[in-house]
């Protein structure tokens, strides 16, 4: 996967498909089994928090 400057990317998938693991790998929070991650510049990640409204 290659993301160019200015592109907007959405990571979508079913529950348990690996979306969070994919993002954690890019951020260096978990080890990858194979492949390469190169980041030029900075990264930002804002996780979604569950909200319960009555």
Token output for 18 = 């690996």
CA distances for 41 relative to 12, 13, 28, 34, angstroms = 24, 27, 14, 22
pTM of the model: 0.64
Every domain of the chain and the residues it spans: 1-34
CA distances for 45 relative to 1, 25, 34, angstroms = 18, 12, 22
The per-residue pLDDT for 9 is 83
The per-residue pLDDT for 53 is 67
Residue 38 pLDDT > 70, yes or no?
Answer: yes
**Span 9-37, pLDDT tens digits:** 888 899 899 888 888 888 888 888 888 88
């Amino acid at each position: 996967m290659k993301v160019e400057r200015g592109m907007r990317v959405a990571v979508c998938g079913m529950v348990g498909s690996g979306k969070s693991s994919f993002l954690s790998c890019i951020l260096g929070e978990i080890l990858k089994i194979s492949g390469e991650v190169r980041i030029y510049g900075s990264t930002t990640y804002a996780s979604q928090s569950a909200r319960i409204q009555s």
